[in-house]
Structure 1
Amino acid sequence: MVLPEGFVLPPWYLLVPMLVVLAGIIALLWALEPPVTDRTVLAFAPWMMFGSTLHVLHRIEVYPDRIEPLFASPSVYLVTAIVAGAAWIVAIFLYAGGLQPTISRFVGISGTAFFAVFTMITINIGLERGTFEPFWPVIAVVATGVVTALAWVALSLTFTDVATTTGMTGALVVFGHALDGVSTAIGYDVLGAGETVPLSRLILEAGEALPTAPYIGAGWLFVLVKTVLALVILGLFKEYVDEQPQQARTILALVAAVGLGPGIHNVLLFLIT
């Protein structure tokens, strides 16, 4: 099995309109050609996390049955892309009209607002159900900060040009994948959570087969693989960022989302279950 468990496409009458709207947003953004800088990528980080809250609410079954498939995987990514893309378009026109000093400012503020509201809804549900437990999620975030700092220092000292060129975008890529790795490791080794992605499960099982497993668990190997993979990707993208920074940073933003989204999803799910 290659696809993760829970991979469900919504019915055609939901999927088709969603794809049409998303295609329209992409086409309009293509025509407008907004700048994509480090600030732009960081501004979209809250939107990546917002998508995670939507999926967590799906996991705890709070949506009506008619729209519930929209927030399963992978359609939740499309929903998030539509809302974030629409916010980006609004930001472009507000900036063009002199109503915002920068495009990225509106994107970041609106994304933070959406993420904060839906996170509070999620936490409130956990409090009402008596399942709110912040200890391990906080540990996961703190540990991720440590792993990211060590990885970034190592990259800066060893391949200074890669760290300099990729900048804050590169740091977000490393943080996102480190968070996914650390949160998955804690879930697997400490909280007894299963892993739905087949390839990730194979890595965790490989870590469990090592003689170090009884002492430090199996998840450390997953953290190492995710972090090293992020650093390797940055190294491969160095020249691309130099030559075509807008395209390269857009792709790196998607790479960051692939790590940050699942990582925040794990943290929020552990927080309320």
Structure 2
Amino acid sequence: MVLPEGFVVPPWYLLVPVIVVLAGVISLLWTLEPPVTDRTVIAFAPWMMFGATLHVLYKMAAFPASIEPLFTAPMVYAVTAVLAGLVWIVAVFLHVGGLQRTTHRFVGIAGTAFFSVFAMLALIRSFESGTFEPFWPVISVVVAGIVTAITWVAVSLWFTDIAATTSATGALVVFGHTLDGVTTAVGYDVLAAGETVPVSLLLLEAGAALPTAEYVGAGWLFVFVKVVLAVVILGLFREYVDEQPRQARTILALVAAVGLGPAVHNVLLFTVA
């Protein structure tokens, strides 16, 4: 099996409109050609977190049955992309009209607001049901922050050109994938959470087969691979960022989302369930 468990294709009457709207949003953004800088990528980080929050709420059965399929995986990513893209378009027009000094500030504030409101809904529901358990999620975030800091310092010292070129975008890529690795490892080793992604499960099982598993668990290998992979990707993109910064940073933002989205999903899910 290649696809993860829980991969759901929604009914055509929900799928088709979302795809059409998403295609329209992408086409309009392609025409407008808004700038994509480090600040733009960071501004979209709350949107990556927002998408993960919507999927957690879906698992908590927080949505009406009629629209519930919109928040399954991978449909929730398309829905989030539509919302974020529409906000980006509004930000571009506000900036052109002189109502906003920058586009990234409006995008970041809107994304933070959406994430905060929906994350709070999930937390409130968990309080009411008595499932609120923040200890290991908080530990995961702290550990991921420490590992990211150490990794970024090492990259800055030994691969200075990579750190200087990719800058905040690169740091977000490393943090997103590190947090994904750490939360997955904690879930597997400590919380007995199942892993639905086949490739990730293979790495976790490989770690469990090593002699070190008895002392440090099986997840360390997964964390190591995620961190190394993130740094390697940044190295491969260094020249691309120099030559085509807009396109390169857009792709790196997607790479960051692939790590940060599942990571925040794990953190919030472990907290509320």
Range into which the TM-score falls when normalised by the shorter chain: over 0.9
| Counterpart for residue 206 of structure 1 | 206
What is the DSSP-based 3-state SS (H/G/I as helix, E as strand, rest coil) of the residue aligned with 1:7?
Answer: coil
Gaps of 5+ in 2: none
Deviation at 1:270, TM superposition (A): 0.4
Deviation at 1:66, TM superposition (A): 1.5
| Counterpart for residue 181 of structure 1 | 181
Gaps of 5+ in 1: none
Letter in 2 for 1:103: T
Separation (CA, whole Å) in 2 of partners of 1:56 and 1:191: 17
1:53-202 aligned within 5 A: 53-202=53-202
- The TM-score normalised by the length of structure 1 is 0.99
| Counterpart for residue 29 of structure 1 | 29
| Counterpart for residue 269 of structure 1 | 269
Letter in 2 for 1:44: F
Separation (CA, whole Å) in 1 of partners of 2:206 and 2:63: 37
Letter in 2 for 1:253: A
What is the DSSP-based 3-state SS (H/G/I as helix, E as strand, rest coil) of the residue aligned with 1:218?
Answer: coil
Deviation at 1:180, TM superposition (A): 0.2
Deviation at 1:59, TM superposition (A): 1.2
Separation (CA, whole Å) in 1 of partners of 2:111 and 2:254: 16
1:243-254 aligned within 5 A: 243-254=243-254
Separation (CA, whole Å) in 2 of partners of 1:66 and 1:203: 37
Deviation at 1:69, TM superposition (A): 0.9
Deviation at 1:62, TM superposition (A): 1.6
Deviation at 1:60, TM superposition (A): 1.5
- The TM-score normalised by the length of structure 2 is 0.99
Letter in 2 for 1:250: T
Letter in 1 for 2:180: D
Deviation at 1:119, TM superposition (A): 0.6
Deviation at 1:65, TM superposition (A): 1.5
What is the DSSP-based 3-state SS (H/G/I as helix, E as strand, rest coil) of the residue aligned with 2:46?
Answer: helix
Separation (CA, whole Å) in 1 of partners of 2:119 and 2:60: 13
What is the DSSP-based 3-state SS (H/G/I as helix, E as strand, rest coil) of the residue aligned with 2:230?
Answer: helix
Quote the sequence identity (%): 73
Q: Deviations over 1:8-32 (max 9, x none)?
A: 0111111001000000000000000
Letter in 1 for 2:201: R
Deviation at 1:101, TM superposition (A): 1.0
Letter in 2 for 1:272: V
Letter in 1 for 2:26: I
Letter in 1 for 2:234: L
Deviation at 1:215, TM superposition (A): 0.7
Number of equivalences: 273
Deviation at 1:61, TM superposition (A): 1.5
Deviation at 1:214, TM superposition (A): 0.9
CA RMSD between the two structures: 0.5
Separation (CA, whole Å) in 2 of partners of 1:59 and 1:212: 34
Deviation at 1:223, TM superposition (A): 0.4
| Counterpart for residue 222 of structure 2 | 222
Letter in 1 for 2:227: T
Separation (CA, whole Å) in 1 of partners of 2:200 and 2:59: 20
